[in-house]
Amino acid sequence: QVQLVESGGGLVQPGGSLRLSCVASGIDFNRSGLGWYRQAPGKQREFVAQIFGRGTTTYVNSVKGRFTISRDNAKNTVYLQMNNLKPEDTAVYYCTQIYSNHWGQGTQVTVSS
């Protein structure tokens, strides 16, 4: 059974930082590409970042230079370090295994003063 469990969301002031984690089970983690998506209220889910097995990463333009995706294969965990957060980053953030229909339950990130 595939499980993706996100954590690390919360309320943070503009300019602050958060680190999201996603622990995966039931997949071949080392060979899997992992991604982060987000969905703001009233908007469609959008791509944020992804990382492939060899460490190749891509980001949506709006987070480049502020967010960093990484992975720890020994812990079956993918991270999203988010710095200099802005109110427009407010959303539910989801972890996914790329090229699958496997998603986590999401973690809420709220950026507000």
pLDDT digits (tens, 9 = 90+) for 29-58: 999 999 999 999 999 999 999 999 888 999
Amino acid, res. 30:
N
Mean pLDDT of 57-63: 98
Instruction: Return d(Cα 38, Cα 36) in angstroms, integer.
Output: 7
Cβ-in-10-Å burial (0-12, 13-18, 19+) of 1 comes to exposed
Amino acid, res. 102:
H
Mean pLDDT of 104-109: 97
Mean pLDDT, the chain, as a whole number?
96
Host H or E run for residue 91: strand 91-97
The answer to whether the Cα torsion of 81, 106, 92, 60 is positive or negative is positive
| pLDDT for position 83 | 98
